[in-house]
Amino acid sequence: MDYDVAWVKGYFNFKDTTLIDIMRVLSRWYDVTITFETQALEHVKFSGLLHKQQNIEDILNGIKNTKFINAYEIKNKTITIK
């Protein structure tokens, strides 16, 4: 799918985007608070298309499967990226 029209098709479009910027978008979309266990993770860059209709756990698992994050923890409406 073309990155330029991804948003029209219902996808988040991230191209060389830092995890902190991605998590800001996801935080607003899913109405959750997202924190990082270490600051170094905030600056890791990710590229990919993520479907907006997926739940937050599926999105995080997709990012985790790419080895950009090791783990995450969800407590109520707060997510910690590890």
CATH number for position 72: 3.55.50.30
Average pLDDT, integer, range 55-75: 92
Q: What is the pLDDT of residues 42-63, one digit of tens each?
A: 999 999 889 999 999 999 999 9
Q: Are 75 and 33 in contact (CB under 8 A)?
A: no
pLDDT of residue 65 exceeding 80: yes
Domain that holds residue 29: 3-81
The reported pLDDT for the residue numbered 56 is: 96
How many distinct structural domains can be found in the chain?
1
- By the 10 Å C-beta count (0-12 exposed, 13-18 middle, 19+ buried), 42 is classed as middle
- pTM equals 0.86
18 pLDDT band, cuts 50/70/90, is very high
33 pLDDT band, cuts 50/70/90, is very high
